[in-house]
A and B are shown apart, each in its own frame.
Chain A
Amino acid sequence: ETGVTQTPRHLVMGMTNKKSLKCEQHLGHNAMYWYKQSAKKPLELMFVYNFKEQTENNSVPSRFSPECPNSSHLFLHLHTLQPEDSALYLCASSQNMGGNTEAFFGQGTRLTVV
């Protein structure tokens, strides 16, 4: 248990569906992240939020839309996804964004787009 909780753990959605991934941390961390992990590829950083403000959008298609209502919660809204978007989506948090402390990861959401 890392203190970062992601729901759902598994999600199957059609290309025309709209769904949301949720991430929650109660570690008092100020920075939260979304990563995408595809088979045989390194973790890809998608979005970074620092004190609820988005500081990074790593050229992510607009069909992925993040939301950070407060420093403990992070969402990833999904709509009109493609099969190649199937992957493990990982949420992480860290005390700050400086990279001087470790990141705590959730268990991930395994997304399958059909």
Chain B
Amino acid sequence: SQQGEEDPQALSIQEGENATMNCSYKTSINNLQWYRQNSGRGLVHLILIRSNEREKHSGRLRVTLDTSKKSSSLLITASRAADTASYFCATPSSAGGTSYGKLTFGQGTILTVHP
């Protein structure tokens, strides 16, 4: 079953605006990761936030994590046309055995930033 689910499925904004994407997950985690994917290419890791962290920044990115609500958000400030991509959250499985640590991805949010 899918662990991370992003919301919204698609987001269209103008350059300069902020973009916020949300991720919900079902089971307990020790970290949550955000990735970006340009059309038809590989995923690029953006940021990892651990379960004991509430907020993390990297450049124009801000990620929050609320473990009580099992949710995370990714904020991109002052968006640029080059930010157009799909954004995924991923959580490693905390289940035992061979499932331990496997990353499970959501379906992603497609972000379009218009110049």
Binding site for B on A (CB under 8 A): 2, 4, 6, 40-43, 45, 48, 55-56, 88, 90, 92, 96-108, 110
> What's the Cα separation between A108 and B105 when bound, in Å?
16
- B residues whose Cβ falls under 8 Å from a Cβ of A: 2, 30-31, 33, 35, 40-45, 48, 88, 90, 92-93, 98-108
Q: Would you call A107 and B31 a contact (CB within 8 A)? A: no
Take A42-B105, A43-B105, A45-B102 as given contacts and tell me if A102 and B45 are in contact as well, using a CB distance cutoff of 8 Å: yes
Contact of B88 among A43, A55, A108, A110 (CB under 8 A): A43
Residues in A neighbouring B92, C-beta threshold 8 A: 98-100
State A101–B45 Cα separation when bound (angstroms): 10
Report which of B35, B43, B101 forms a contact with A97, defined as CB distance below 8 A: B101
CA distance A99 to B101 in the complex (A): 4
